[in-house]
Structure 1
């Protein structure tokens, strides 16, 4: 049985969430983006974003913690994709501090997001991830997500182009 607990984020968590977001992004994307793009990730900017998200509950943000230490976070809500039904949810973000990778933190966060989306009446969930982010692709495919092969698009991250793809799965 895991001792990892998941709870709704509070404004006090915003800095830890921002630090995890930056550290995890820089580690996960080190082979996808040039160093100059990775250096643009800012804890200060991410903290402002996550403070607002937590304050407005958009998306819903939950943190995984152990003994009071925030280990990762997930943001989820209704899908932001145009034309999707109200019963489609979306994982907006799921990041784990790299020192806690492969310890069950991501699974605990996914379980909490899935439960939250089901409570909101969602029957399907989607997310966007970078196609060359093998760690994320593997994690989400193990969690039952499938690739939406017609969804590939190019996103700009720190001035560098990255191909991303939507993944989806049923919640029923």
Structure 2
């Protein structure tokens, strides 16, 4: 993966929360439809997502960065220490990374990953993890290209609306 990008990445502000929520909801629903064709995507309320991301930005838990294209928010990443039990404090986690569907495949994810990696290194992290639904080929491919390795023994089932989704943890060194 190349680290060149045409996107500006900066820490999110509370004013970005609505755009973040809109991207979160639309990209999540598009990914769900690709995973489960014919299934009804679970309802995600933009206002609920906006409240979550507003709190995250205000309290820096997780840290949130946005990618901009001509001044418009086109993606975001949330990252912090790993939430997984038993992980050392030097393990970070990508809590969420999403790009607007209109910008898929254009380098937004790479720009956000680069910024999150730098942020985690500044926090003293040496490793990073991310949880991805097993059937989300787009996300798995992106993280494979970014150097993440799948931990086959980590697979877990989580409810997403009325559907159960298997997720896998991916991990990589930050160096």
Query: Residue 31 of structure 1 corresponds to which residue in structure 2?
Result: 34
Unmatched tracts of structure 2, length 5 or more: none
Whether contact under 8 Å (2:42, 2:162) holds in the other structure is no
Query: Residue 54 of structure 2 corresponds to which residue in structure 1?
Result: 51
Superposition RMSD in Å: 1.1
Structure 1 CA distance for aligned equivalents of residues 44 and 122 of structure 2: 33
Query: Residue 92 of structure 1 corresponds to which residue in structure 2?
Result: 95
Structure 2 CA distance for aligned equivalents of residues 56 and 135 of structure 1: 30
1:2 aligns with 2:5: yes
Aligned length: 171
Q: 2:146 aligns with which of 143, 152, 159?
A: 143
TM-score by length of 1: 0.96
Q: How far 1:32 moved relative to its partner?
A: 2.4
Structure 1 CA distance for aligned equivalents of residues 168 and 140 of structure 2: 10
Structure 2 CA distance for aligned equivalents of residues 149 and 94 of structure 1: 21
Q: 2:21 aligns with which of 18, 40, 62?
A: 18
What SS class does the counterpart of residue 153 from structure 1 fall into?
strand
Q: How far 1:35 moved relative to its partner?
A: 4.1
Query: Residue 81 of structure 2 corresponds to which residue in structure 1?
Result: 78
Q: Deviations over 1:32-84 (max 9, x none)?
A: 24643x24111111001101111110000000002210010000000000000
What SS class does the counterpart of residue 2 from structure 1 fall into?
coil
Task: List structure 1 runs of 4+ shifted beyond 4 angstroms.
Answer: none
Whether contact under 8 Å (2:77, 2:98) holds in the other structure is yes
